[in-house]
Structure 1
Amino acid sequence: MNDLDALLAAANPVAAADLPHGPRQEALLRSIIDEPARPSPARIRTRLRWTLPAIAAAMAITAVLWHVLVPQSIPEQRYVTSGPAHRVLLVAAERADQTGTKRFWHDKGEVGQLLRRDHDGHRYTLLVTFPTETWVPRDPIDGDSVHASDLGKVRIQPVSAADAEAYRKDGSPGPDENPRAGITVPDPPDGPDLAGDRIFEGDRARLPADPAELRMTMLTWIRDHGGLPAHPDAWLFREATKLLDSPGRTPSPTVRGALYRMLAGLPGVRNLGTVRDPLGRPSVGVVLRERTPALGTIDWQFLFSPSSDFVMATRAVVVRPGATNRELPAGATQYLTVKQTAGWTDRPPKHRLPGARR
């Protein structure tokens, strides 16, 4: 068995009950195990009934052991060491190194996603947005982190004039848990969830400050918790931007700097230059393009402040639709996050955080 065969066997263990067992297989097996002194037919049938499941069980056990003892190898990376995107991300890394922390991280923003509705012959696309607010104490004595998404303040906006007309003819429905009575607003996808990949849930407090070690740590974690993603660089791009988007949960300045440096070394990251964020503010943008069967070709955009390491927005822009978003036009922003205000503060929230001891 060559290495590829072994990997395929490990990924596809076959249960004994799944193996074909008929006259042809029985005859073939007889020709392999027959002895010069042939036993009676009844004895042959008994032996075959026991031998086939035993062989299959041994193969399945071997495949499982191979998978356990020989895990997927972390792919080597071709590090990028120059270029416009590399330069702007290194500048952001240096700013992150110098960012101090205070008692609380506080941010307010919005999450938006496109929603396609087909109801009573009316088809239209809506942009659904709702506000978010996060409080993260640096010290557990100040309480537990709170991340609130106010579904009671959902805004619904047709994307185009044609969508607005179809929406009006459908009765301009508002948010409602009953899809017959209104618009069912799903919970927002959590960054990489949109692409179907598992999100990084490792111990952020133990992330290394070296970008190469950081990459290895994150990929090892995802490998050991469900397997490597189909596109590791795209997964790292999305997960790193998500970690940077929440400094309260990744408070170490050196780790934030390492995240920016890891992004700077990823192949495929392009510089967008100075672009406007969803609120019209100037920002520095970088992007990584990914091709998937479900989402088609997607540009994952990361927009940050020209003067600090503050993350202003993230966007998933459809370049070419796939199986799950075929109704969306090219250029549509399928998913976005935007921060209106964000920063470290010593001023506590109006109401004490859950679990606060001072």
Structure 2
Amino acid sequence: MNPIDELRAARPAHLGDRPVDADTRAAELARAMSGPRRRRRGTIPRPAWGLGLAGAAAATVTAVAVAVIMSGGPATPTATAPPTATPTAPRVTLSAREVLLAAADKADRQVEKEGAYWHSVTVGRNLYTAKTGGYAVMDRERSEGWTPSATGGEQWGSSRRLGAEPATAADRAAWERAGSPSEIEVVVPGKGLGGLTLSTSEGKARTSHTPLVDGDKVFWLGRNVTMKDLRGLPGDPAKLKKWLMASYAGHGTESTSEEMSGDVWLFKVSLGLIMDMPVTPEVRGAAFRMLAELDSVKITENVADAEGREGTAVSVEESYPRGGVSENRLILDERTGRGLANEFVVVKPGGLQADFEPGAVWNSTALIEAGWTDEKP
């Protein structure tokens, strides 16, 4: 797969072929071609942003601990008997299936009231390596979208760059040694793709609007779908899987030259259902139950997203034709059954990720809010 195909493959599946402006395309370039930092000799690989990932390449992960109350035995030691140790609650781990089924139950209970627009707010983060100085740079952008519930309307979008900054205290020191530049030229791996210059200043909000594709298409879900399609998806996990897999053709969500297993494809496409698509609570719950039946899904507990919110990560591994493996993970809030963020983590460096550290998060999209509104953009 050439670099351009890899760029397309890293684009979130549910965004599909919607028109995008130059700033958005630059962010997508980061998603496919950039990595958080170069491996440094003699250093211990560490995840970006201080995430609680105990090792992205670990073969075994644990889930939420459940306290088991134990009783029995004297409350205090007697004069003739030695003190008894206070029993500790044993750690009980849940399987990926159990965690996802629990999340499904919470998702089913979500309450919604349909409005004129489906509104969502996300913050995207991409890490780069500075061309001079070799320090890691985090670029951030806030995006907002309004999708009309009625056909024939327009889809609105707003984006604002939040500015680039050194990723850690050590990177900040290196940035300062380089003269604290306000414009940072960063490395974009891939032959012929050129460089990219990031500003440390916040940008102005830019708003755009476009007619719906064909007058009624609103999202991509293996194929272009209408609001009626989304609202009419089956709440039964087996039927939902059958509906989605009807669009699976053995390759990736973007490139026909990229082979992809059905499990990985289903996971990628389903993220939109859980994260930010206007589906019913029953369908969101069905998506969790559908993923619970995938053998390739793994769980990592106590993971903080880029916004500092702690959750449980549900993930699958993606292998790239040019080498390397990434973990594609959904961080969810088990208390509510809502998705918090979608992240890509380096598991095995290779190809365009050959110089990236295992455990590094090279792209993150944090969902700030999503829901119905009657307020116009």
- Alignment TM class, shorter chain as reference: 0.5 to 0.7
Give the partner amino acid of 2:237: P
CA contact (8 A) 1:107 1:135 kept: yes
Q: In the alignment, which of 229, 236, 241 is matched to residue 210 of structure 1? A: 236
State the alpha-carbon separation in 1 of the partners of residues 158 and 272 from structure 2. Answer: 17
State the alpha-carbon separation in 1 of the partners of residues 243 and 323 from structure 2. Answer: 27
Counterparts in 2 of 1:175 and 1:262: CA distance versus 1, 3 Å: farther
Other-structure match for 1:154 = 162
Give the partner amino acid of 1:309: G
State the alpha-carbon separation in 1 of the partners of residues 372 and 273 from structure 2. Answer: 19
Other-structure match for 2:147 = 136
Is the radius of gyration larger for structure 1 or structure 2? 1
State the alpha-carbon separation in 1 of the partners of residues 196 and 110 from structure 2. Answer: 49
Q: In the alignment, which of 290, 299, 324 is matched to residue 271 of structure 1? A: 299
Give the partner amino acid of 1:344: G
Other-structure match for 2:271 = 241
Tell me by how many angstroms 1:176 deviates. Answer: 8.8
More strand by share: 2
State the alpha-carbon separation in 2 of the partners of residues 322 and 172 from structure 1. Answer: 31
State the alpha-carbon separation in 2 of the partners of residues 116 and 95 from structure 1. Answer: 40
Other-structure match for 1:95 = 106
Tell me by how many angstroms 1:130 deviates. Answer: 0.8
Give the partner amino acid of 1:318: V
Q: C-alpha offsets along residues 251-298 of structure 1, whole Å, 9 cap, x if unaligned?
A: 223322221111111112122123322222222322222333446121
Secondary structure in 2 matching 1:147: strand
Quick check: 1:285 aligned with 2:295? no
Other-structure match for 2:27 = none
State the alpha-carbon separation in 1 of the partners of residues 122 and 180 from structure 2. Answer: 29
Q: Summarize the alignment of residues 286-301 of structure 1 with structure 2, pairs less than 5 Å apart.
A: 286-294=314-322, 296-301=324-329
Secondary structure in 2 matching 1:265: coil
Give the partner amino acid of 1:144: E
Q: Structure 2: which 5+ runs fail to align?
A: 1-92, 187-193, 201-219
Q: Summarize the alignment of residues 103-122 of structure 1 with structure 2, pairs less than 5 Å apart.
A: 103=115, 104-118=117-131, 122=133
Tell me by how many angstroms 1:343 deviates. Answer: 4.1
Counterparts in 2 of 1:294 and 1:91: CA distance versus 1, 3 Å: same
Other-structure match for 1:20 = none
Q: Summarize the alignment of residues 322-337 of structure 1 with structure 2, pairs less than 5 Å apart.
A: 322-337=350-365
May I ask how many residue pairs the two structures share in their alignment? 248
More helix by share: 1
State the alpha-carbon separation in 2 of the partners of residues 166 and 112 from structure 1. Answer: 20
Secondary structure in 1 matching 2:288: helix
Q: TM-score, normalised by structure 1?
A: 0.59
Q: C-alpha offsets along residues 199-236 of structure 1, whole Å, 9 cap, x if unaligned?
A: 73342436443323333333331429975842221221
Secondary structure in 1 matching 2:134: strand
Counterparts in 2 of 1:252 and 1:110: CA distance versus 1, 3 Å: same
State the alpha-carbon separation in 2 of the partners of residues 229 and 135 from structure 1. Answer: 33
Paired-residue identity, %:
25
Q: In the alignment, which of 214, 218, 223 is matched to residue 201 of structure 1? A: 223
Other-structure match for 1:304 = 332
Please say which of residues 330-339 and 283-292 is displaced more in the overlay: 283-292
Other-structure match for 1:174 = 183
Tell me by how many angstroms 1:160 deviates. Answer: 4.3
Give the partner amino acid of 1:159: A
Other-structure match for 1:54 = none
Quick check: 1:231 aligned with 2:285? no
